[in-house]
Structure 1
Amino acid sequence: MNYTQEMNLQSKSGYCMPFEERKGEVRMSLDYGTQVHPKSGEEFFHHGIDFITKHYLLSACADGIVSGIGSDARHGLFQVIRYGNYEVTYAHLSNVLATFGAKVKAGSVASVSGDLLHIEVKFDGEEINPLEFLTMIYGNLKMMQQQGEVGMPDFETIDMDIPTDFEDDQEEVEQLMLRFYPDYLSELNDGKYLLAQHTEQSLRNIFSLSAIKNYFYEVIPSLSNPLGIGQRAVPVAAKVQNLLIGDFLNYMALRHQIFLSTLSENDKKKLLTKP
């Protein structure tokens, strides 16, 4: 099936590539069509394209809905997102973050890749070369930027100021999360890294007490505010953020010996000796 202009995808939220390259690290390891198997040396027809990835955050490419999640011998853990007439399968995942039936927009975090990312694409049920789909997405993104429009607009966020204990280190924390947060999620999911017992218990207590006090669903839930929390829940949200950021930094210290630049040597030693 050859790509035509009529197949161009319309998306109110803009467009986004499925992942962001880290200093050019990502490369395609297997193309679409007739290929030679890298292990057996035999020819076979490859129904998608493969990229070598290391636990990359994967984003939705446009307005869509998660239409399938599953696991099988061929794809491993996989997720299917429908964008209009397109159906895109992301396979060999390490984690799925957007659940079945979830509506997504361009840039919504949908899943986390494994060491290998396999992508398949169908249009009106007919298989096409995924590179044609990705080229179309990239072209639409660049065209919007050239016209002075934001290709991938910012999402609506909760209209509240949620201060944390890490305000002075915000930029540094965000940079660390951009690089290591997928690994953190993956190790939590696989049980290779365990949430500190006091952190887990604190989170349980916060959510239990918040439910009792009716902090949740105070406003209509949305994609950016799925629990429907309002101004009354600002202190709760701040406590949760402090706990989660603190645990991520604990993971960075224990797994990678990376610390915030503002930490003293004594504080670093305390982190490394935490039970």
Structure 2
Amino acid sequence: MKYTEEMILHSESGYCMPFEAPQGQDVDLSLGYGEQVHPETGEKFFHHGIDFDVRRYMLSAVASGIVSGVGNDPAHGICLTIRYGEYEVTYGHLSSVFAQFGQRVKAGQTVALSGERLHIGVRFKGEELNPIEFLTMLYGNIMALQDAGDDGTAGFYEPGPETDYEKDKREIEELMLRFLPHYMDDLRCGAYTVPAHTEQSLRHIFTMGAMKEYFYERMPSLYNPLGLGRKAVPLACKVQNLLIADFLNYLALRHEAYLPGSGGDVKKNFMTKP
């Protein structure tokens, strides 16, 4: 399906999973989404969800929503479906259900008990999704909100693409810790203006990215609102190079601060070429 920004869902529960594993114990995915091979017959089949080996686990709502279905399915046994906005998340292979049809549930509220295992299926506006992408989106949102609540110096959760400034990375990070608030304030009040050729380069990069469908390759989240995936790595490198270069240009012009080994003769020559 085509991903859009409206697919971002915030999990107020602070959990991206409907269950919590005992401390020190990992829970493995026993059956993935998509085409699978039956372990006994060898026949191929399409699995419309994911399964976990979680026997008698308490299951919670991952966000605030309303119970839109309770029933018994021939393939997945006792099932419970909760609607979160345009999403519907179904828990299958249950032994007990603690919520009634039409009941409003809060994020983190216990709604069911798994049986011998747990099946999870996800739909958005009626269209089936890979539940792993849905759970990953929730995780990204939780991490983004936690990041926003700290001192603002936390880094990426995944390794970022390498830039032209890798050898000066530590020095640049130290300069950012010291001068980035001033940079943002000066941009906001107009004391510093991004050069026209830098702005034009950024516009060109994002236009080309849209034409090549780099955006919304994966489900968007607060952490990754444009849904950037592997295809967008070259775009991300170019954007980072331009932004770092502009920050260094700002330091030279406004604070006469330079990277180690640089001097006044490079004061106006930090910008990368478009």
* Partner residue in 1 for 2:5: 5
The answer to whether the Cα contact below 8 Å between 2:10 and 2:142 also exists between their aligned partners in 1 is no
Q: For residues 123-142 of structure 1, what are the structure 2 equivalents within 5 Å?
A: 123-142=124-143
Q: Secondary structure at the match of 1:41?
A: coil
Q: Secondary structure at the match of 2:132?
A: helix
* Partner residue in 2 for 1:119: 120
User: Taking structure 2 as the reference length, what is the TM-score of the superposition?
Assistant: 0.51
| Distance across 2 between alignment mates of 1:114 and 1:53 | 8
| Distance across 2 between alignment mates of 1:2 and 1:119 | 21
| Distance across 2 between alignment mates of 1:146 and 1:44 | 41
User: Using a 3 Å threshold, how does the CA distance of structure 1 residues 33 and 2 change in structure 2: closer, same or farther?
Assistant: farther
Q: For residues 234-249 of structure 1, what are the structure 2 equivalents within 5 Å?
A: none
| Higher relative contact order (Cα pairs below 8 Å, separated by 6+ residues) | 2
User: Using a 3 Å threshold, how does the CA distance of structure 1 residues 76 and 85 change in structure 2: closer, same or farther?
Assistant: same
The answer to whether the Cα contact below 8 Å between 2:11 and 2:141 also exists between their aligned partners in 1 is no
* Partner residue in 1 for 2:75: 74
Q: For residues 64-103 of structure 1, what are the structure 2 equivalents within 5 Å?
A: 64-103=65-104
Q: Secondary structure at the match of 1:62?
A: coil
Task: Using the TM superposition, give the Cα deviation of residue 47 of structure 1 relative to its aligned residue in structure 2, in angstroms.
Answer: 0.4
The answer to whether the Cα contact below 8 Å between 2:16 and 2:136 also exists between their aligned partners in 1 is no
| Distance across 2 between alignment mates of 1:137 and 1:75 | 24
| Distance across 1 between alignment mates of 2:141 and 2:17 | 11
Query: Is residue 17 of structure 1 aligned with residue 17 of structure 2?
Result: yes
Q: For residues 163-242 of structure 1, what are the structure 2 equivalents within 5 Å?
A: none
The answer to whether the Cα contact below 8 Å between 1:36 and 1:43 also exists between their aligned partners in 2 is yes
User: Using a 3 Å threshold, how does the CA distance of structure 1 residues 43 and 15 change in structure 2: closer, same or farther?
Assistant: same
1:35 partner amino acid: Q
Task: Using the TM superposition, give the Cα deviation of residue 11 of structure 1 relative to its aligned residue in structure 2, in angstroms.
Answer: 5.5
| Distance across 2 between alignment mates of 1:50 and 1:12 | 24
1:117 partner amino acid: L
| Distance across 1 between alignment mates of 2:107 and 2:49 | 22
Task: Using the TM superposition, give the Cα deviation of residue 16 of structure 1 relative to its aligned residue in structure 2, in angstroms.
Answer: 4.4
* Partner residue in 2 for 1:219: none
| Distance across 2 between alignment mates of 1:82 and 1:16 | 16
Q: Secondary structure at the match of 1:143?
A: helix
| Distance across 1 between alignment mates of 2:142 and 2:48 | 25
1:54-95 residue CA offsets vs partner (Å, 9 max, x unmatched): 111111011111100001221100000001000011000011
The answer to whether the Cα contact below 8 Å between 1:15 and 1:140 also exists between their aligned partners in 2 is no
71-80 or 19-28: which moved more? Answer: 19-28
Structure with max Cα Rg: 2
| Distance across 2 between alignment mates of 1:148 and 1:136 | 19
The answer to whether the Cα contact below 8 Å between 2:21 and 2:27 also exists between their aligned partners in 1 is yes
- Give ranges in structure 2 of 5+ residues lacking alignment: 151-274
User: Taking structure 1 as the reference length, what is the TM-score of the superposition?
Assistant: 0.51
Task: Using the TM superposition, give the Cα deviation of residue 100 of structure 1 relative to its aligned residue in structure 2, in angstroms.
Answer: 1.2
The answer to whether the Cα contact below 8 Å between 1:16 and 1:106 also exists between their aligned partners in 2 is no
| Distance across 2 between alignment mates of 1:31 and 1:3 | 21
Task: Using the TM superposition, give the Cα deviation of residue 24 of structure 1 relative to its aligned residue in structure 2, in angstroms.
Answer: 2.7
Q: How many residues align?
A: 149
The answer to whether the Cα contact below 8 Å between 2:13 and 2:62 also exists between their aligned partners in 1 is no
| Distance across 2 between alignment mates of 1:105 and 1:15 | 12
Q: Secondary structure at the match of 1:131?
A: helix
* Partner residue in 2 for 1:29: 30
The answer to whether the Cα contact below 8 Å between 1:78 and 1:92 also exists between their aligned partners in 2 is yes
- Give ranges in structure 1 of 5+ residues lacking alignment: 150-275
* Partner residue in 2 for 1:171: none
Task: Using the TM superposition, give the Cα deviation of residue 12 of structure 1 relative to its aligned residue in structure 2, in angstroms.
Answer: 5.9
